[in-house]
Every structure is written in C-alpha cells, then in structure tokens.
C-alpha cells in the first residue's frame, strides 16, 4: 500500500507539473505567508525546500536568504524536471520525506509548503527532518487540515457513502505528533481560505491540474455515474453565494526548532 500510494502521488504531481502554476492560487498564498513569517532571528545558510514542486517557495526563500545554498526535494520527478527549467538552485533531489538521503546536522532550515499531508507516516517524516537539521535549526511547514473542501465532501455524502475527498489529519493530530517528536514546538496557527467557482467542474478541474486529486485508498468505479454527478451538482448548489460556489481550505502553519 505504501509504495503504491507514493508512486501514485508522485505520478499525479509529475503529470500536473506544466499546469500547476496556472491554478496554484492557494499554494502561492499559503507559501507566501509561510515564508514571510519565518522567525526574524533566523540566519540560514543551508536550506531545504521539502516538497518544492515547481519552485515558487524556493524563489521566495532565495529572495529572503540570497547568499544561501538550496536543496529542492520532491517525491515527483516531473515537478523537479519542470523546476530545473525555471528555477536555479544548488540541488534537485527526488526523495521521499519519510526516507531523506541526507547526513545528520546538514540544514539550518527546512521549509515545506502544503506537502506533509501526503506523508503516510508523518512521525517518521519529523524524525527524518530532525536528524538532518543542525542544533538550533528550524522547520516550518504548512499543511491541509481535516474540514478542508467540506462543501464538496458533504455534497458527495448526500449522494453515496463512498469517499470522494481525502480525509486529512486534524489540528490536534499535528500538535500531538509534533509534541511526541524530538522537536520543540515554537508556534502553531490555523487560517481559513475560501475560493469561489462558477461550477463544480471548475473546482474538479483545478484539483486535477494541481495533481491534488489522488484519493487515499484509490477510486472506486460506480454505476449510474451521470446520475450521481447530477445529484452532486444539485446538492452543491445549496452552498452557492453571490460570489459563486465556495471551496473552503483549513490550513495549519507550524514552526519547530531543534533544541
């Protein structure tokens, strides 16, 4: 399950590399907040962008720390190929965050924007990051929380009992995992973002173009697909506002330090 899942996630994001930046509105907004609010005392010379994607975060980090060295790490080789064409950095490394290929005490800073929700064993990811960071080093990440895409999930729930939207970890899950890890928890803040669409198919297409439409456990083939889709549309209409159909994202920002 683990290797199949990771392969599927990597394939989805690799396939989405050329379309990703066109629709990554949430990812850019969250990434900017993530990096803008790094600790002011931080003086990082060796930096890992974990889940670097197309390189937007690395570019922001390079503006903040122009003299530093950078390692762009991503599970999706296609993302790194695309990034290499558009963003210059010291190393592009295709690796799993649960099995990082670095020695100990290597980095001053690890930044990860909307990537750790894809880690099946986040406790292990925290351990791997901890080992690769120097004493006093920082890890700052953002992640999607359970409750995100609630309108889509609740609309599908009115149609059938199958999962159509991923279940994410809760705020409490992440706090617990961080507190049980060797990291020191410095800060945790939760923000809500809401985007609006004229039609559900536009949200669905955006998720596909982001590569973020992989379901844990895979997708099921259903009978009466057209009828069920029509039911979804009718149910989702109950959420319509003057701005359109809402899609809500709950995002957690966490800052950790190695004692």
Asked whether residue 138 carries a pLDDT value surpassing 70, the answer given is yes
Mean pLDDT highest for which of 118-122, 161-165, 209-213, 224-228? 118-122
* pLDDT at residue 160, rounded to an integer: 86
Query: Which tokens sit at 170?
Result: 């809760």
On whether the CB atoms of residues 37 and 15 are closer than 8 A, the answer is no
CA quadruple 146, 258, 46, 34: dihedral sign: positive
Secondary structure letter of residue 73 according to DSSP: E
* pLDDT at residue 220, rounded to an integer: 52
* pLDDT at residue 216, rounded to an integer: 53
* pLDDT at residue 219, rounded to an integer: 46
Q: Percentage of residues in the chain with pLDDT exceeding 90?
A: 78
* pLDDT at residue 223, rounded to an integer: 60
Residue count (the chain): 259
Task: Quote the CA–CA distance of 160 and 163 in Å, as a whole number.
Answer: 9
Question: How many Cα atoms within 13 Å fall on the side-chain side of residue 16?
Answer: 24
Q: Mean pLDDT over residues 197-218, rounded?
A: 79
Asked whether residue 28 carries a pLDDT value surpassing 50, the answer given is yes
Q: What is the 3-state secondary structure (H, E, C) of 195-221?
A: EEECCHHHHHHHHHHHCCCCCCCCCCC
On whether the CB atoms of residues 118 and 147 are closer than 8 A, the answer is no
Residue-wise pLDDT tens digits, 76-111:
999 999 999 999 999 999 999 999 999 899 999 999
Across 20-29, 45-54, 55-64, 202-211, least confident range: 202-211
On whether the CB atoms of residues 255 and 187 are closer than 8 A, the answer is yes
SS3 239: helix
């Amino acid at each position: 399950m683990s290797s199949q899942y990771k392969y599927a996630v990597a394939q989805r994001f690799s396939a989405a590399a050329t379309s990703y930046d066109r629709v990554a509105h949430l990812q850019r907004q969250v990434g900017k907040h993530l990096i803008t609010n790094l600790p002011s005392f931080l003086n990082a010379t060796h930096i890992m962008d974990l889940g670097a994607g197309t390189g937007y975060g690395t570019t922001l980090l390079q503006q903040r720390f122009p003299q530093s060295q950078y390692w762009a790490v991503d599970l999706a080789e296609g993302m790194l190929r695309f990034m290499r064409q558009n963003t210059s950095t010291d190393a592009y490394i295709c690796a799993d965050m649960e099995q990082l290929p670095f020695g100990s005490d290597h980095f001053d800073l690890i930044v990860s924007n909307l990537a750790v929700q894809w880690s099946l064993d986040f406790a292990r990811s925290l351990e791997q990051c901890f080992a690769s960071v120097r004493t006093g080093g920082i890890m700052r990440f953002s992640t999607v929380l359970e409750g995100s895409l609630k309108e889509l999930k609740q609309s599908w729930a009115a149609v059938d009992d199958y999962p159509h939207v991923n279940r994410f970890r809760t705020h409490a899950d992440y706090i617990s995992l961080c507190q049980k890890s060797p990291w020191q928890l410095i800060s945790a803040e939760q923000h809500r973002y809401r985007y609006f669409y004229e039609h559900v198919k536009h949200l669905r297409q955006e998720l596909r173009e982001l590569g973020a439409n992989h379901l844990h456990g895979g997708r099921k083939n259903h009978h009466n697909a057209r009828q069920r889709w029509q039911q979804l549309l009718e149910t989702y209409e109950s959420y319509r506002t003057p701005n359109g159909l809402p899609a809500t994202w709950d995002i957690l920002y966490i800052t950790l330090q190695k004692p």
